Structure 1
Protein backbone atom coordinates (compact mmCIF):
# COMPACT_ATOMS: atom_id res chain seq x y z
CA UNK A 1 0.00 0.00 0.00
CA UNK A 2 2.73 2.43 0.99
CA UNK A 3 4.63 1.65 -2.23
CA UNK A 4 1.51 2.38 -4.31
CA UNK A 5 1.01 5.74 -2.58
CA UNK A 6 4.67 6.66 -3.17
CA UNK A 7 4.42 5.79 -6.86
CA UNK A 8 1.18 7.76 -7.20
CA UNK A 9 2.66 10.79 -5.42
CA UNK A 10 5.85 10.57 -7.49
CA UNK A 11 3.85 10.35 -10.72
CA UNK A 12 1.64 13.26 -9.66
CA UNK A 13 4.67 15.38 -8.82
CA UNK A 14 6.33 14.59 -12.15
CA UNK A 15 3.12 15.42 -14.02
CA UNK A 16 2.76 18.70 -12.12
CA UNK A 17 6.37 19.71 -12.88
CA UNK A 18 5.86 18.84 -16.55
CA UNK A 19 2.68 20.94 -16.67
CA UNK A 20 4.42 23.91 -15.06
CA UNK A 21 7.33 23.60 -17.48
CA UNK A 22 5.09 23.60 -20.56
CA UNK A 23 2.70 26.40 -19.62
CA UNK A 24 5.04 29.15 -20.76
CA UNK A 25 4.74 31.07 -17.52
CA UNK A 26 6.82 34.23 -17.93
CA UNK A 27 9.57 34.75 -15.44
CA UNK A 28 11.06 38.23 -15.17
CA UNK A 29 14.70 38.37 -16.13
CA UNK A 30 17.12 40.52 -14.21
CA UNK A 31 16.83 44.09 -15.53
CA UNK A 32 19.78 45.36 -17.52
CA UNK A 33 20.86 48.93 -18.18
CA UNK A 34 20.45 49.61 -21.87
CA UNK A 35 20.16 52.42 -24.40
CA UNK A 36 17.67 51.81 -27.21
CA UNK A 37 17.78 53.94 -30.34
CA UNK A 38 14.90 53.97 -32.79
CA UNK A 39 11.54 55.51 -33.58
CA UNK A 40 9.12 56.34 -30.78
CA UNK A 41 5.68 54.99 -31.77
CA UNK A 42 2.23 54.54 -30.35
CA UNK A 43 1.98 50.78 -30.08
CA UNK A 44 -1.71 50.48 -30.89
CA UNK A 45 -1.37 51.82 -34.44
CA UNK A 46 2.04 50.23 -34.94
CA UNK A 47 0.85 46.75 -33.94
CA UNK A 48 -2.52 46.87 -35.73
CA UNK A 49 -1.49 48.73 -38.91
CA UNK A 50 2.28 49.05 -38.94
CA UNK A 51 1.81 52.83 -38.69
CA UNK A 52 4.94 54.87 -38.16
CA UNK A 53 6.89 57.76 -39.69
CA UNK A 54 6.07 61.43 -40.23
CA UNK A 55 2.76 60.68 -41.97
CA UNK A 56 1.49 59.12 -38.74
CA UNK A 57 2.79 61.79 -36.33
CA UNK A 58 -0.52 63.58 -35.61
CA UNK A 59 -2.43 60.34 -35.04
CA UNK A 60 0.38 58.85 -32.93
CA UNK A 61 0.61 61.97 -30.77
CA UNK A 62 -3.16 61.90 -30.27
CA UNK A 63 -3.02 58.26 -29.14
CA UNK A 64 -0.15 59.01 -26.74
CA UNK A 65 -2.01 62.00 -25.28
CA UNK A 66 -4.95 59.68 -24.56
CA UNK A 67 -2.63 57.37 -22.64
CA UNK A 68 -2.30 54.51 -25.11
CA UNK A 69 0.94 52.51 -24.82
CA UNK A 70 4.10 53.74 -26.52
CA UNK A 71 7.30 52.02 -27.52
CA UNK A 72 10.54 52.27 -29.43
CA UNK A 73 11.14 50.32 -32.63
CA UNK A 74 14.87 49.78 -33.12
CA UNK A 75 16.75 49.32 -36.43
CA UNK A 76 16.23 45.53 -36.25
CA UNK A 77 12.46 45.91 -35.85
CA UNK A 78 12.43 45.00 -32.15
CA UNK A 79 9.63 46.68 -30.21
CA UNK A 80 10.36 47.88 -26.66
CA UNK A 81 7.34 48.89 -24.57
CA UNK A 82 8.00 52.10 -22.63
CA UNK A 83 6.88 51.84 -19.00
CA UNK A 84 5.99 55.48 -18.50
CA UNK A 85 3.11 57.92 -18.80
CA UNK A 86 2.43 58.15 -22.55
CA UNK A 87 1.12 61.76 -22.63
CA UNK A 88 4.54 63.04 -21.52
CA UNK A 89 6.04 61.57 -24.70
CA UNK A 90 3.38 62.74 -27.19
CA UNK A 91 5.51 65.55 -28.67
CA UNK A 92 8.20 63.05 -29.67
CA UNK A 93 6.06 60.35 -31.31
CA UNK A 94 7.35 59.14 -34.69
CA UNK A 95 10.69 60.86 -34.17
CA UNK A 96 14.12 59.29 -33.74
CA UNK A 97 14.91 58.86 -30.05
CA UNK A 98 17.48 57.32 -27.75
CA UNK A 99 16.01 56.06 -24.50
CA UNK A 100 18.14 54.71 -21.69
CA UNK A 101 16.90 52.76 -18.71
CA UNK A 102 16.29 49.33 -17.22
CA UNK A 103 15.13 46.69 -19.71
CA UNK A 104 13.40 43.44 -18.80
CA UNK A 105 11.55 41.23 -21.29
CA UNK A 106 11.47 44.00 -23.96
CA UNK A 107 9.96 46.49 -21.50
CA UNK A 108 11.95 49.66 -20.81
CA UNK A 109 11.70 51.77 -17.68
CA UNK A 110 13.25 55.05 -18.88
CA UNK A 111 15.80 57.14 -17.02
CA UNK A 112 16.97 59.31 -19.93
CA UNK A 113 15.40 60.48 -23.21
CA UNK A 114 17.16 62.12 -26.14
CA UNK A 115 15.39 63.29 -29.31
CA UNK A 116 17.14 63.81 -32.63
CA UNK A 117 16.91 67.40 -33.84
CA UNK A 118 18.67 67.72 -37.19
CA UNK A 119 22.12 66.22 -36.66
CA UNK A 120 22.07 66.74 -32.90
CA UNK A 121 20.67 64.72 -30.01
CA UNK A 122 18.87 66.86 -27.43
CA UNK A 123 18.14 65.68 -23.91
CA UNK A 124 14.52 65.88 -22.79
CA UNK A 125 13.64 66.19 -19.12
CA UNK A 126 11.54 63.25 -18.00
CA UNK A 127 8.72 63.67 -15.53
CA UNK A 128 9.21 61.87 -12.23
CA UNK A 129 7.09 58.70 -12.33
CA UNK A 130 5.35 57.38 -9.25
CA UNK A 131 7.18 54.42 -7.75
Structure 2
Protein backbone atom coordinates (compact mmCIF):
# COMPACT_ATOMS: atom_id res chain seq x y z
CA UNK A 1 0.00 0.00 0.00
CA UNK A 2 1.26 3.46 -0.83
CA UNK A 3 2.09 5.87 1.98
CA UNK A 4 -0.49 8.44 0.70
CA UNK A 5 -3.26 5.82 0.74
CA UNK A 6 -2.39 4.80 4.30
CA UNK A 7 -2.48 8.45 5.43
CA UNK A 8 -5.83 9.07 3.69
CA UNK A 9 -7.31 5.92 5.22
CA UNK A 10 -6.06 6.92 8.67
CA UNK A 11 -7.44 10.46 8.37
CA UNK A 12 -10.85 9.22 7.18
CA UNK A 13 -10.98 6.62 9.97
CA UNK A 14 -10.08 9.23 12.60
CA UNK A 15 -12.67 11.68 11.24
CA UNK A 16 -15.40 9.03 11.27
CA UNK A 17 -14.44 7.98 14.79
CA UNK A 18 -14.49 11.59 16.02
CA UNK A 19 -17.87 12.18 14.37
CA UNK A 20 -19.29 9.06 15.99
CA UNK A 21 -17.95 10.11 19.41
CA UNK A 22 -19.46 13.60 19.10
CA UNK A 23 -22.81 12.18 17.99
CA UNK A 24 -22.82 9.72 20.91
CA UNK A 25 -22.01 12.39 23.53
CA UNK A 26 -24.51 14.79 22.00
CA UNK A 27 -27.25 12.15 22.12
CA UNK A 28 -26.39 11.30 25.74
CA UNK A 29 -26.49 14.97 26.74
CA UNK A 30 -29.90 15.44 25.13
CA UNK A 31 -31.24 12.29 26.79
CA UNK A 32 -30.17 13.53 30.24
CA UNK A 33 -31.69 17.01 29.76
CA UNK A 34 -35.12 15.85 28.62
CA UNK A 35 -37.50 16.12 31.53
CA UNK A 36 -41.03 15.03 32.16
CA UNK A 37 -43.68 17.05 33.91
CA UNK A 38 -43.77 16.26 37.62
CA UNK A 39 -45.80 17.37 40.62
CA UNK A 40 -43.70 18.21 43.67
CA UNK A 41 -44.88 19.08 47.16
CA UNK A 42 -42.86 21.38 49.37
CA UNK A 43 -42.60 24.66 51.23
CA UNK A 44 -42.51 27.94 49.28
CA UNK A 45 -39.30 29.72 50.32
CA UNK A 46 -37.65 33.00 49.49
CA UNK A 47 -34.34 31.77 48.07
CA UNK A 48 -32.26 34.76 49.19
CA UNK A 49 -32.96 34.27 52.91
CA UNK A 50 -33.13 30.48 52.75
CA UNK A 51 -29.73 30.15 51.07
CA UNK A 52 -28.13 32.90 53.17
CA UNK A 53 -29.24 31.81 56.64
CA UNK A 54 -31.72 28.93 56.34
CA UNK A 55 -34.81 31.09 56.95
CA UNK A 56 -38.07 29.24 56.42
CA UNK A 57 -41.35 28.34 58.08
CA UNK A 58 -44.13 30.43 59.60
CA UNK A 59 -41.72 32.65 61.58
CA UNK A 60 -40.18 33.80 58.30
CA UNK A 61 -43.46 34.31 56.41
CA UNK A 62 -43.46 38.13 56.72
CA UNK A 63 -39.91 38.56 55.45
CA UNK A 64 -40.40 35.95 52.70
CA UNK A 65 -43.52 37.77 51.54
CA UNK A 66 -41.60 41.05 51.27
CA UNK A 67 -38.68 39.42 49.42
CA UNK A 68 -40.92 37.52 46.98
CA UNK A 69 -43.11 40.58 46.35
CA UNK A 70 -39.93 42.61 45.69
CA UNK A 71 -38.93 40.19 42.93
CA UNK A 72 -36.54 37.93 44.80
CA UNK A 73 -36.23 34.37 43.48
CA UNK A 74 -38.79 31.86 44.75
CA UNK A 75 -38.00 28.29 45.64
CA UNK A 76 -39.75 25.10 46.67
CA UNK A 77 -38.11 23.08 49.44
CA UNK A 78 -39.12 19.42 49.21
CA UNK A 79 -37.31 17.31 51.77
CA UNK A 80 -33.62 17.84 51.14
CA UNK A 81 -34.16 19.11 47.58
CA UNK A 82 -34.44 22.80 46.73
CA UNK A 83 -35.91 23.98 43.42
CA UNK A 84 -35.95 27.38 41.75
CA UNK A 85 -39.55 27.93 40.61
CA UNK A 86 -40.34 29.88 37.42
CA UNK A 87 -43.41 30.32 35.26
CA UNK A 88 -43.56 30.18 31.48
CA UNK A 89 -40.23 31.96 30.80
CA UNK A 90 -40.98 34.53 33.51
CA UNK A 91 -41.03 34.83 37.30
CA UNK A 92 -44.02 33.34 39.11
CA UNK A 93 -43.72 35.61 42.17
CA UNK A 94 -47.21 37.14 41.91
CA UNK A 95 -48.84 33.71 42.08
CA UNK A 96 -46.62 32.47 44.93
CA UNK A 97 -46.34 35.53 47.20
CA UNK A 98 -49.51 34.60 49.10
CA UNK A 99 -48.17 31.06 49.57
CA UNK A 100 -44.90 32.05 51.31
CA UNK A 101 -43.96 29.54 54.04
CA UNK A 102 -46.88 27.26 53.08
CA UNK A 103 -46.65 23.67 51.88
CA UNK A 104 -48.12 23.42 48.40
CA UNK A 105 -47.94 21.24 45.30
CA UNK A 106 -46.42 22.58 42.08
CA UNK A 107 -46.60 20.91 38.67
CA UNK A 108 -44.03 21.67 35.98
CA UNK A 109 -41.04 20.54 33.98
CA UNK A 110 -38.28 19.55 36.40
CA UNK A 111 -34.72 20.02 35.19
CA UNK A 112 -31.31 19.84 36.84
CA UNK A 113 -27.92 21.04 35.68
CA UNK A 114 -24.67 21.25 37.65
CA UNK A 115 -26.50 20.58 40.91
CA UNK A 116 -29.13 23.31 40.39
CA UNK A 117 -32.76 22.17 40.24
CA UNK A 118 -35.60 24.11 38.62
CA UNK A 119 -39.31 23.67 38.07
CA UNK A 120 -40.22 25.59 34.92
CA UNK A 121 -43.64 26.34 33.46
CA UNK A 122 -44.76 25.91 37.07
CA UNK A 123 -48.42 25.81 38.03
CA UNK A 124 -49.89 25.60 41.50
CA UNK A 125 -51.88 22.37 41.91
CA UNK A 126 -55.12 23.04 43.76
Bigger helix fraction: 2
Shift of 1:3: 0.7
Gaps of 5+ in 2: 112-117
Gaps of 5+ in 1: 114-131
Cα distance in 2 between the residues matched to 1:93 and 1:111: 13
Q: Which residue of 2 aligns with 1:121?
A: none
Kept in 2, the 8 Å contact 1:82–1:110? The answer is no
Q: Which residue of 2 aligns with 1:93?
A: 100
Kept in 2, the 8 Å contact 1:42–1:71? The answer is yes
TM-score (norm 1): 0.62
Q: Structure 1: which 4+ aligned runs deviate by more than 3 Å?
A: 14-26
Kept in 1, the 8 Å contact 2:84–2:119? The answer is yes
TM-score (norm 2): 0.64
Q: Which residue of 2 aligns with 1:30?
A: 36
Q: Which residue of 1 aligns with 2:114?
A: none
Counting matched residue pairs gives 109
Shift of 1:4: 2.2
Shift of 1:91: 2.5
- Equivalent of 2:108 in 102, 106, 109: 102
| Structure with greater contact order relative to length (CA < 8 Å, sep ≥ 6) | 2
Cα RMSD for the two superposed structures:
3.0
SS at match of 2:33: coil
Shift of 1:20: 4.9
Cα distance in 1 between the residues matched to 2:12 and 2:69: 60
Shift of 1:71: 1.9
The structure having more radius of gyration, on CA atoms, is: 2
Shift of 1:40: 1.0
Cα distance in 2 between the residues matched to 1:16 and 1:100: 37
